[in-house]
Amino acid sequence: MKIIKKKSKLKVALNSLSNQTIGFVPTMGALHDGHISLIKASNSRCDITVCSIYINPTQFNSQKDLSNYPSNLKKDIEFLKKNQCDIVFTPNDFELYDGNVKSCEFNLNKLDKYMEGKYRPGHFQGVATVVTKLFEIIKPNFAFFGEKDLQQLMIIKHISNESDIKIFSVPTFRDKNGIALSSRNNNLTKDSYRSATIIFKSLCYCRDNINKYDIVTLKNKVKKLFERSKFNLEYLEFVSMETMHPIDFSCHNFAICIAATVENIRLIDNIIINAKETN
């Protein structure tokens, strides 16, 4: 596995590959088995897999959240070596932002209006900025993103719509209790991690009772569940897969999305219901 820090060296390495398909997995490190599922998806479709590790400052809403984001580059590199990654790109701020660390402005087609876009203003402009920069450097044939960050996935599909890059979505990777794997889980206490099962259980409850109760009733029932939990419910939304906007009743192609916090740690998750093929 090659470890490359400079974008100029990465371009040289990639340009030397002739007629080989390149798969790209962008990450912010603190790698776990969910990331490995993306690596495996890339390996199954591509000749070469490139993984980036970069904690992007423009997608954070506070310096404290940025500072608290878990990071262990040495451990991550060893993790990638064991899981058949070909190239890992570990740039610094200057390599990606050339000394001007700020977001560009993208037309996100109002996909960012609700949920994460509402609670984390500017977040998706930061995501779109760094992903676009990485795409321009790596020029992959395929890029792989997890469904756990569903709104992000749909926004990246939108901004990549006119490019030659094919965006693949990979199902959320969960532990045996249903908790979605997330780098932020590293910051949870053992007790909080056990309590985090309420997130997926709430999603499953809504999915299993969507034909029994209306959406307002389901939201109220979940709110009551959280009142007895140490987690604080930030939002529970039923959204169209096409627009990421809330819906009032179930339709053919929608998702149930949730965000909750505990001890200043914020977790998100979702379940896609009757989704059309999004790849």
Our answer to whether residue 123 is catalytic in this structure is no
Give the closest residue to 38 by CA, choosing from 136, 153, 130, 116.
153
Taking the C-alpha atoms of residue 237 and residue 256, their distance in angstroms, rounded to an integer, is: 6
Taking the C-alpha atoms of residue 6 and residue 87, their distance in angstroms, rounded to an integer, is: 12
Taking the C-alpha atoms of residue 83 and residue 9, their distance in angstroms, rounded to an integer, is: 23
Give the number of other Cβ atoms within 10 Å of residue 80's Cβ: 24
Handedness of CA 137, 52, 131, 126 (dihedral sign): negative
Of 35, 158, 245, 252, catalytic: 35
**Structure tokens of 94?**
């200057």
Q: What is the set of active-site residues?
A: 35
